[in-house]
Amino acid sequence: MSDNTSPDVAHHLRITGRVQGVSYRAWTQDRARSLGLSGWVQNEADGSVTALVQGPEEAVAALIRAAQDGPTAARVSAVNSTEAAPDDTLIGFGIRR
């Protein structure tokens, strides 16, 4: 039985493969917002993309599954997910530059 007071979960993601220069961050932001998640996504110097996603467990899991494919031009090698501490100060989902 689920209720609206169930605590959010948070996961830190590291996505590797051909994930920069293919609109991966914008795709992640759009998908996260459509799922009602908060957090951020950013490119890393090593060519990977990292993200912090937070929200209801089912929505976070849905984003992690979708991240395996990403946008059409992406070629994802791996999505590594680790649990993180939820951050009550996160509002919305942004792209970090």
Q: Is 32 exposed, middle or buried (0-12, 13-18, 19+ CB in 10 A)?
A: buried
| Residue 80 falls in the annotated catalytic set | no
**Amino acid of residue 53:** V
Catalytic residue among 4, 14, 25, 31: 25
Catalytic residue among 14, 18, 43, 80: 43
Task: Give the integer Cα–Cα distance in Å for 64 and 61.
Answer: 5
| Residue 65 falls in the annotated catalytic set | no
Q: Are the beta carbons of 43 and 20 closer than 8 angstroms? A: yes
Q: Residue 66: phi, psi to the nearest 5? A: -65, -35
| Positions marked catalytic | 25, 43
